[in-house]
Amino acid sequence: MGSHRRLAPSGFDRGALGVLSVATAAFGALAAVPAPAAPLDDTRAEVDRLYTQAEKATEAFNEAAERTGTLRRQVGESQDRVARQQARVNDLRERLGAFAGAQYRSGGLDPALALLFSDDPADYLDRALALDRITLHQASQLKDLQGALRELAQERAEAVRRLGELDESRRAVAAHKRSVEQKLARARQLLNSLPSAERAAYDRASRSGRGHLSGPGGAAASGRAAAALAAARSALGKPYVWGANGPTGFDCSGLVQWSYAQAGLSLPRTSQAQAHAGHRVPLSQARPGDIVTYRSDASHVGMYVGDGQVIHAPYPGAPVRYDPVGMMPVSSVTRP
């Protein structure tokens, strides 16, 4: 997203833009003193920084959202296990209750079984198993019930723990969402404060990257990679939408995930996880369809298309497009 617009000398030179502005004003017909270029450069640098931070927060949002979905499924599974175990406990209690009733009708209730109806079933179970009067069959039934109650308690504790994690994850999602929205709103505000000429220059600079870098091309490493690349190309021009993974809008990792899904391969949701979704290859050996992650924290990702270019969802306001693979420091190249 943002940091690839901090350019090397071979790309659009922002310092040169400031010098050019000053020179033009100095040699123009008017004698007015031009405004210094530094504040404009500072504004552009701040926009870059906010976009970079927003993208990192977006990937954190994606990760938290994915974890929330996983926890929600796990909570459902835990609740199902609790229900099944409760049914087993109820069944065992009914069987022991029926046995106790038969004893009562035949002349009296075994004291061990009478404890079944006490206020402290756990204490009953521990004491009942120690009594000599119960038969081997009764002891087996009591042990089954004791085990079932313990398992039920464990399942309930696990369900409570996962519900707590789910609640924490939901709060994390909300916090990351607020962070992204705040940073993007501030970036838009700063961009809107630039004169129209400066905004146009900023847009040209963001597209120029570090200049075209020649690089490996050739065929995709597999038919699946070729199909994923074709899907990514079909998304050209679609808007950047943070937290989205298609088909009408994408963030950076959403585009890569969606493209490979069209090729029949399920990839993780975040750029950091996608960096490990296959085997690493050197950038010099990249082939079309390979996943290219950026920055030391792998917070941005694109797909290599060949000839030194990637296709990616850059940042808000910029649609899915091609850019030089060297638009920012490459972290890794992964071949799914």
Give 162-183 pLDDT, tens digit per residue: 777 777 877 877 777 787 778 7
Whether 102 and 193 share a structural domain: yes
Whether 73 and 138 share a structural domain: yes
Whether 195 and 235 share a structural domain: no
**Can you read off the two tokens belonging to residue 286?**
């990249």
Number of domains comprising the chain? 2
Single out the residue in 184, 210, 236 at which a domain terminates.
210
Instruction: List the domain range (segments joined by +) for residue 164.
Output: 1-210
Whether 262 and 328 share a structural domain: yes
Whether 38 and 143 share a structural domain: yes
pLDDT of 258: 97
Q: Which residue has the higher pLDDT, 247 or 218?
A: 247
Using alpha carbons, list the distances in angstroms from residue 242 to 3, 31, 105, 180, 224. Answer: 17, 46, 71, 8, 26
pLDDT of 19: 30
Whether 239 and 104 share a structural domain: no
Whether 292 and 152 share a structural domain: no
d(CA 84, CA 159): 13
d(CA 207, CA 215): 18
Lowest mean pLDDT: which of 203-212, 232-241, 271-280?
203-212
Residues with a known catalytic role: 252, 300, 312
> What average pLDDT score do residues 8-18 get?
34
Q: Give yes or no for residue 68 having a pLDDT over 80.
A: no
**Can you read off the two tokens belonging to residue 296?**
């030391």
Q: Which residue has the higher pLDDT, 211 or 265?
A: 265
Whether 268 and 128 share a structural domain: no
Whether 156 and 15 share a structural domain: yes
Q: Give yes or no for residue 17 having a pLDDT over 70.
A: no
Q: Can you give the CATH number for the domain in which 264 is found?
A: 3.90.1720.10
Whether 5 and 128 share a structural domain: yes
Lowest mean pLDDT: which of 13-27, 34-48, 140-154, 231-245?
13-27
For the ranges 15-19, 26-30, 243-247, the one whose mean pLDDT is highest: 243-247
Model pTM?
0.55
| Cα dihedral sign, 71-295-251-176 | positive
Strand partners, 334: 280, 291
Single out the residue in 210, 240, 274 at which a domain terminates.
210
CB 62 within 8 A of CB 132: no
Which residue matches tokens 């046995």? 99
DSSP per residue over 278-328, as a string? SEE--GGG--TT-EEEETTTT-EEEEEEETTEEEE--BTTB-SEEEETTSS
> What average pLDDT score do residues 40-69 get?
77
Single out the residue in 189, 210, 231 at which a domain terminates.
210
Whether 114 and 10 share a structural domain: yes
Whether 191 and 101 share a structural domain: yes
